[in-house]
Amino acid sequence: MFLSQLMRQSGASASAARNLWRKSENPFISTPQAWLTDLEQVEEKKRGIIDLHPDVFRVAPRLDILHRNLTWQKVYRNVQMTKMLTKAEMPGGGRKPWPQKKTGRAHVGSIRQPEFIHGGFANGVRGPRTWFYMLPDAIRLQGLCVALTLKHAQDDLHIVENMQDLQNGDPKFWQDLCESRNWGYSVLMIDDSDVISGGLAEAQEQLAWLNCMPVYGLNCYSIIKYDTVVLSKNALEKIEQRLLQHLHRAKPLNLKYRYQDYKEKILNESRAEENPNMPPIV
C-alpha cells in the first residue's frame, strides 16, 4: 500500500497488523489505515500505521443518516416551559363587569375574557411541552459509523498512543501542537477512561477549543462539531469492539424507552447532588 511505503521512508517502527474482528474477506474492501502518533512534542512524529475496521471507519457516507442523528440530538432535549394563562387561571374576573343588556356595550361575563386587555389567552402556548423521541438503535449505530468515516476520510481523525499523564500542561504548548499539525479550530480528545490526568487535563481546562470525552460519551454531534477528533489507542479498540458487537448482534434491541421503565432511575439520579439551598432537581 501507499501508506506502508511512506512508513518505510519515515522509519516508523510499529506494524499495521491488528486483529480485526469479523473483517470481510471481500478483496474489494480495502482496510482503512491511520498514522499512529503521540502528544509528547509539538512536531508530529509518526510511530507507525494502524489498521482500522472497514465496517466502522469505511462505511457509505450517508449524510441523511447523519442528519437524522444530528437533528435528533438537537431536538430531543428541548422542553418548552412557557404556559400562557387562560381566562380561568388569571386572577379575578369572577364578577360580571356590567349588565348583559341595555348598556350599549358588549355582552361580557368577565374582565379576563380573551378579547380584553390583560385578559386570558384563548389559544396560547400551554407548556410544558417536550420534543423528546428516541431514534432507532440501528440509525444511531450507523450514524456513529458514518461520522467516524467522514472524519477519517477527511484526514481529521488521528490516533495517539496515550493521553494520560502527559508531561506538558502549558496551553501555549498545546496551541502550538495543534497548529503545527494543522488540527483546525477545535479538537476533541477521546480516551477510554472517564478520568483524565496530567498535561492534557491542565491544558483543556484553560483552552475552550480543546475538549476531552470518554468513549461512552461518543456522539455524532460532537464528532462533527469539532474540527479534529483524536482517539487514543485504547479508545479506538473500545469503540470498534462496542460498535462491532452491536453491528453483529443477532436480535434488534427493541428497547421501548418508556418513562415508566426509567422513572426510578431518573428520579434517583440527583439524590447525591441535592443542595440544601436549592430546590430539588427532578
Could you list the residues that contact other proteins (CB under 8 A)? Answer: 28, 58-61, 63-64, 66-68, 70, 149-150, 153-154, 156, 184, 221, 224-225, 227, 250-251
Strand partners, 211: 188
The CB-of-262 to other proteins minimum distance in angstroms stands at 21
Cβ closest to other proteins, residue 164 vs residue 222: 222
| Buried b / exposed e along 266-276 (16+ C-beta atoms within 10 A) | eeeeeeeeeee
Name which of 64 and 273 has its Cβ closer to other proteins: 64
CA–CA gap between residue 67 and residue 75 (Å, rounded): 12
Q: Three-class SS of residue 48?
A: strand
Q: Do residues 157 and 147 make contact, with C-beta atoms less than 8 angstroms apart?
A: no
Q: Give the residue among 159, 193, 189, 212 at the shortest CA–CA distance from 52.
A: 159
Respond yes or no on whether the N-terminal peptide bond of residue 91 is cis (omega within 30° of 0).
no
Nearer to other proteins (CB atom), residue 110 or residue 149: 149
Nearer to other proteins, 126 or 248 (CB): 248
Closest approach of Cβ 133 to other proteins, in Å? 16
- The nearer residue to other proteins, 45 or 67, going by C-beta atoms, is 67
Q: Report, in Å, the least distance between residue 153 CB and other proteins.
A: 5
Helix axes 199-206, 171-180, angle to 10 degrees: 90
CB of 150 to other proteins, least distance (A): 5
Cβ-based nearer residue to other proteins, 57 or 174: 57
Q: Within a 10 A sphere around the Cβ of 114, how many other Cβ atoms?
A: 13
Phi and psi at 100, nearest 5°, equal -65, -45
Measured at the CA of 235, the angle between CA 234 and CA 237, to 5 degrees, comes to 65
The nearest distance, CB 104 to other proteins, in angstroms, is 50
Closest separation in Å from C-beta 55 to other proteins: 12
Q: Grid coordinates in use for 31?
A: 482496510
3-state secondary structure of 33: strand
